[in-house]
Structure formats: structure tokens, C-alpha cells
Structure 1
């Protein structure tokens, strides 16, 4: 798992090794995420899967409960993915096709939280 920190969010993505090993690499990423989830509890998160071409919807759905919990803690949880039907993704998960859109979502949600919306 690769972690890039900014002042507004953490961006988590797969390492080159995880990408190369495809299914097993994604499983490793998911296990590491679960193991370290408490470290991310108080930060806005972007899970960047844009390097995976046509990611399987079932992989995205693995994060459904984690997304809900994170959002209940008043933090953003956004997944960046490409090659997927966004209409098929449940409302509990915020998914967008680009990192820029993920950053925009976090900015909007931060403003809404500041305004009490």
C-alpha cells in the first residue's frame, strides 16, 4: 500500500508489486487497509484505484461498510476508479473517475461540514 499525505487528505493506492500480482495484490492492499484502518479514522481518504483498468465492482463493494463508518465520523471517503458503471455503485460509496474530482468532493464535503449541512 502506498500512502501519500496532504494537508487535506490521505491518498492510498496500490504499489507496483500489488498491481503486478493483480488479484492477490488487491487482496494484500485490502488486508493492509483493514489492519491500518484505525490510523485513517480521523482523515479524509482517497482510495486511488485509477491504475487498475476496468476494476471489478465487487472489489469496490468491499469498502462499502468502511466507507459508511468513515463518513459517520465526519470524514470523506472517496474511491477513484475507471472503467466501471458508476450507476451500479451504491449510494454508500462515493466513486469518481479522476483524482481531481475526488479532491473536489473532499473540498465540498469539508465546506458542508463547516456549515453544518
Structure 2
């Protein structure tokens, strides 16, 4: 797993050969990210299915409950087929937009 720390988020790119292998590695490391906004970039690595995306549903819910953003970049997934609890977008630019929108939403909730 390749980690790139940015100003306000961490970009995670899988280096594993399968989503299942990445998921196992990610579960071991996710506790280290509990205070960081995460963007998982699958589009360059895997042809990901909706069932594989759903592996991350509980993690996405945990992040949301703790006021932290969790976004998955994945092309070829119909977002209408994915639960609203998972932020999934086709590009990094859109992932950054989601991070900004989440930050605005959190700010508005604290007013």
C-alpha cells in the first residue's frame, strides 16, 4: 500500500495484487488513520465490483461517525448502486471536492 500524505488528507493507493489482499492490509493499518481524511484510489489498480466496495461500508460509517471523510476513487461503478454511506467518485479531483464538501458540512453542523 502506497501512502501519500497531503495537506488535508492521505491518499492510499493499493500495491497489492487483489482487492482482498489490499483489504486485509488496510484493516491492519486503518487504526493508524483514525484522525486523517482518507482517499482510496482504486481506479489505477483494480477492476473493482460493487461487492468489493461494500467491504469498506463499515469503515466508511466509522469514519463518518468520527467526523472524518472517507472517499473511494473507482471508475466504472454506478453510484446509484452503492449505499449513500460510501463516497465513491471516478476521479481524484472529484474526491477532493467531496473532502471540501464534507468539511463545509461539518462546519455548518457546528454552528
Unaligned 5+ runs, structure 1: none
Question: What residue number does 1:9 align with?
Answer: 9
Report the Cα offset of residue 54 of structure 1.
3.9
Equivalent residue, structure 1, for 2:96: 103
Helix, strand or coil: the match of 2:22?
helix
Q: Cα offset for 1:53?
A: 5.6
Aligned length: 110
Q: Does 1:73 pair with 2:73?
A: no
**Structure 2 residue ranges without an equivalent (≥5):** none
Q: 1:109 to 1:50 in 2, by over 3 A?
A: same
Which residue does the alignment assign to 1:84? 77
How many Å separate the matches in 2 of 1:78 and 1:57?
A: 14
1:41–1:111 CA distance, 2 compared to 1 (3 A): same
Q: Which stretches of structure 1, 4 residues or more, deviate above 6 A after TM superposition?
A: none
The whole-number CA distance in structure 2 between the counterparts of 1:48 and 1:92 is 17
Helix, strand or coil at the partner of 1:36: helix
Equivalent residues in 2 for 1:14-93 (5 A)?
A: 14-15=14-15, 18=16, 21=17, 25-52=18-45, 54-93=47-86
Q: What is the RMSD computed on CA atoms of the aligned residues?
A: 1.4
The answer as to whether partners of 2:19 and 2:46 remain within 8 angstroms in 1 is no
